[in-house]
Amino acid sequence: MSDRLKIFLLLAPALTAIIVLFMGGLGIGLARSLNYMPVIGLVDPNFDAYWTVFTSQEFYLSFLLTFHISFTSTVLSSVLAIGAALLLRRQFIGRAIINFLFQLNLTVPHLVGAIGILYLFSQSGSFARLAAEWGMISRPGDFPALVFDPYAIGIILQYVWKEVPFIGVILLANMQALGEDYESVARSLGANRWQAFRHVLLPLIFPGLLSASVMVFAFTFGAYEIPAILGPNYPAALPVLAYRKYTDVDLEARPEAMAMAIIIALLSALMIFFYVRISRRNIRS
Amino acid sequence: MTHVSLKDLTKVYPGSKVPSLDRLSLEIPTGELTALLGPSGCGKTTTMKMIAGLLTPTSGDVTFDDRSILREKPEHRGVVMVFQNYLLFPYMSVADNIGFGLKMRKVDKAEIDRRVGEILDLVKLPDLGKRRPSELSGGQQQRVALARALIVQPKVLLLDEPLSNLDAHLRFEMRDLIRSLQQEMGITTIFVTHDQEEAVVLADKVALILEGRLCQYDQADVFYKRPANEAVARFFGGQNFIAGQSTGAAFDSPLGQLTLPQGAIAGKGTLTFRPENVKIGEGQSNSLNATLEDRIYLGTQTRLRLRVGDTMIEAIANPDEVGGFDVGGPVPIHLPPQTLWVLQ
């Protein structure tokens, strides 16, 4: 048996699952978004669902909110993860414990984290009550709205809390593999600490940072549960809006939901493409 | 042009009780090429990193022209270190790698381009500026690393095992290049090596460091002729060590009484002589009758294992000279007095 055939056969189970589940689902979604749904009598494909989505103001508001959530969460998580990795690669007493605590979040499901944020940061949550008890605010209701708020602070807080260790662990492994010699070379050639970081370490860890942050961006752009629990009702994040349409009692709203899902996937891919291009140009130039 | 002094330089790493470098003192004259020689883990690279400011000494001082530099940041010391594995920035072109130090000093772009072009010519890589480091051979990468260091005109150049990653033919080429560039630019240069031949060929003076301590700091030939102790002699390939008593003029040993060169120390000691200084045939003095125990042909020379009484002697001779002697048979040898050295 040739190597080519062997590789193909070994990959076949995984490829079958990907093709059947992912491409199949995408195909069905695409067909339904084009108003092709024979079960309920829609048999003439058209772009009506897309037209409805693109002419709806709510869609654009939802898109802006979702983009804001993803972009802010990704940038904040990346910056904090770089800082954390830079600290954790140093030798200090208690490093192992701090490292363990830093990675602990990875094991906590998003949903559990979101409920924690809700209990801690909502206007009836623990921090609001403590602030009122200590006289910092007159009543818990005066606590700043960090959950269900129009700026999605609670959602971003949850994503940053969860994604900093995710990106941080990747960067830390990257930095440990690189060692400090490249920065030492840069320092001896006349670079100060910041220049050594900006012109040497950052470009070196950039591939890892880019992969991790693209994953975070894609996940936060398409995730449903956190915006559903912590987000505002209007405008809702795009996945929440799509799910609402999908579960609408009127089955004819389903093509609209599917159009929205397809648009989310396309926008996500498009934004990742530009994000990769722009960051590559700026970091490594 | 900088005179470098290391004064009782000591480094104890956190968690270790044994110093990696123990009170090293060296005077490295302006514009000279000095080798820090020693086996792996003896403290050579630690010394370099402390000079470059990449490590802080536990105690001691480093001065440039009598001015302590320990408080100065690495980027302000004027010391450039070339690492063993080159560490070229993989995402930059060769030209950008070389111009890096000038860019950090905010030198004008046109000036950087001009100087990069000049230095590329100097290291004989005139057309490779646009390539990536991954597209270069090991020897070319080493030249780029050297060019990147030289372009900033450092006060002191540090080379960490500069030839160890190169093939034999490239080592000769690179060795000559380093030597000629260093002499041309007059930069005080310190290089680290574990290879005594490399140290001897390249350096004006050699500092032999064993187990974190300076054993001898001298011109290369002195290590062969007058080693400071048995460890130094062994590191430089010495294999003959015979205990005995010196009168200053002669040495009483199991080999008999041997005539010593003028100025030899008196008292109990160890006589040493290099294998290549054991001469075949009768001599004017110190002639001995040996038995050939074994011989190994090495191409340009033959290694002999000889026995005189109960004492074994290692010798190296020209293959033609010893071709007629049989293993187990007698071989007349002599030890010229000027090649003998008594260790105390």
Is the CB of residue B191 less than 8 Å from the CB of residue B158? yes
pLDDT at residue A253, as a whole number: 84
Per-residue pLDDT reduced to its tens digit, A210-244: 989 999 999 999 899 999 999 888 899 999 999 99
pLDDT at residue B169, as a whole number: 79
Q: How far is B229 from chain A (nearest CA, A)?
A: 36
* A20 and A61 part of one domain: no
Residue A39 lies in a domain: no
- For residue B79, the chain A residues in CB contact (below 8 A) are 188
Assess whether pLDDT exceeds 70 at residue A285.
no
Q: How confident is the model at residue B10 (pLDDT cuts 50, 70, 90)?
A: very high
- CATH number where A179 lies: 1.10.3720.10
Q: How far is B65 from chain A (nearest CA, A)?
A: 19
User: In this complex, which of B14, B90, B100 lies closest to A189 when CB atoms are compared?
Assistant: B100
Determine whether the interchain pair B104/A91 forms a contact, defined as Cβ–Cβ distance below 8 Å. no
* A135 and A25 part of one domain: no
Per-residue pLDDT reduced to its tens digit, A35-48: 998 888 888 899 99
Determine whether the interchain pair A189/B80 forms a contact, defined as Cβ–Cβ distance below 8 Å. yes
* A2 and A68 part of one domain: no
Q: Is the ipTM of this complex over 0.90?
A: no
Q: How confident is the model at residue B265 (pLDDT cuts 50, 70, 90)?
A: confident
Share of chain A above pLDDT 70, in %: 99
**Average pLDDT of the residues in B18-44:** 93
Determine whether the interchain pair A199/B79 forms a contact, defined as Cβ–Cβ distance below 8 Å. no
* A18 and A115 part of one domain: no
pLDDT at residue B156, as a whole number: 95
What is the rounded CA–CA span in Å between residue B242 and residue B275?
A: 13
**Chain A residue with minimal CA distance to B147?**
A189
* A204 and A257 part of one domain: yes
- For residue B105, the chain A residues in CB contact (below 8 A) are 190
Q: Is A207 on the interface with B (CB under 8 A)?
A: no
In terms of residues, how long is chain B?
344
What stretch of H or E contains A203? helix A202-222
Determine whether the interchain pair B148/A186 forms a contact, defined as Cβ–Cβ distance below 8 Å. no
Q: How confident is the model at residue B291 (pLDDT cuts 50, 70, 90)?
A: very high
Per-residue pLDDT reduced to its tens digit, B305-343: 999 999 999 999 999 888 888 899 999 999 999 999 999
User: In this complex, which of B83, B90, B91 lies closest to A181 when CB atoms are compared?
Assistant: B83
- A-B C-beta contacts closer than 8 Å: 63
Determine whether the interchain pair A204/B91 forms a contact, defined as Cβ–Cβ distance below 8 Å. yes
* A213 and A161 part of one domain: yes
* A161 and A206 part of one domain: yes
Assess whether pLDDT exceeds 60 at residue A160.
yes
**Chain A residue with minimal CA distance to B158?**
A188
Give the three-class secondary structure for A259: helix
What is the rounded CA–CA span in Å between residue B45 and residue B52?
A: 10
Alpha carbon B79 to chain centroid, angstroms: 20
pLDDT at residue A65, as a whole number: 95
Per-residue pLDDT reduced to its tens digit, A63-113: 999 999 999 999 999 999 999 999 999 888 888 899 899 888 888 998 898
**Chain B residue with minimal CA distance to A194?**
B104
B239 DSSP assignment: -
Q: Is B192 on the interface with A (CB under 8 A)?
A: no
Residue A183: domain span: 48-284
Determine whether the interchain pair A190/B101 forms a contact, defined as Cβ–Cβ distance below 8 Å. yes
> How many domains does chain A contain in total?
2
pLDDT at residue A140, as a whole number: 86
Residue A198 lies in a domain: yes
Residue A42 lies in a domain: no
Q: How far is A92 from chain B (nearest CA, A)?
A: 10
* A151 and A111 part of one domain: yes
Mean pLDDT of chain A: 90
What is the rounded CA–CA span in Å between residue B91 and residue A177?
A: 17
Residue A41 lies in a domain: no
Determine whether the interchain pair A185/B14 forms a contact, defined as Cβ–Cβ distance below 8 Å. no
Determine whether the interchain pair B89/A203 forms a contact, defined as Cβ–Cβ distance below 8 Å. yes
Residue A267 lies in a domain: yes
pLDDT at residue B330, as a whole number: 93
- For residue A203, the chain B residues in CB contact (below 8 A) are 89, 91
* Inter-CA distances, B313 with A34, B272, B275, B296, Å: 95, 10, 8, 14
* A255 and A195 part of one domain: yes
* A112 and A168 part of one domain: yes
CA atoms within 13 Å, Cβ hemisphere of B100:
35
Domains in chain B, CATH or no CATH each: 4-225 (3.40.50.300), 238-343 (2.40.50.140)
Q: How confident is the model at residue A284 (pLDDT cuts 50, 70, 90)?
A: low
Determine whether the interchain pair A184/B105 forms a contact, defined as Cβ–Cβ distance below 8 Å. no
**Chain A residue with minimal CA distance to B82?**
A185
Q: Is A197 on the interface with B (CB under 8 A)?
A: no
* Inter-CA distances, B113 with A63, A186, B118, B123, B189, Å: 47, 19, 9, 16, 26
Query: Nearest 5°: CA angle at B283, between B277 and B289?
Result: 85
* A23 and A108 part of one domain: no
Q: How far is B51 from chain A (nearest CA, A)?
A: 10
Q: Is B80 on the interface with A (CB under 8 A)?
A: yes
pLDDT at residue A39, as a whole number: 82
Is the CB of residue B43 less than 8 Å from the CB of residue B20? yes
Residue A43 lies in a domain: no
User: In this complex, which of B79, B87, B101 lies closest to A182 when CB atoms are compared?
Assistant: B87
Q: How far is B243 from chain A (nearest CA, A)?
A: 47
Mean pLDDT of chain B: 92
Q: How far is A196 from chain B (nearest CA, A)?
A: 9
Q: Is B299 on the interface with A (CB under 8 A)?
A: no
Residue A38 lies in a domain: no
Q: Is A280 on the interface with B (CB under 8 A)?
A: no
* A123 and A197 part of one domain: yes
Residue A59 lies in a domain: yes
Is the CB of residue B136 less than 8 Å from the CB of residue B169? no
Alpha carbon B57 to chain centroid, angstroms: 23
What stretch of H or E contains A222? helix A202-222
Q: Is A250 on the interface with B (CB under 8 A)?
A: no
Determine whether the interchain pair A190/B104 forms a contact, defined as Cβ–Cβ distance below 8 Å. yes
Q: How confident is the model at residue B21 (pLDDT cuts 50, 70, 90)?
A: very high
Q: Is B53 on the interface with A (CB under 8 A)?
A: yes
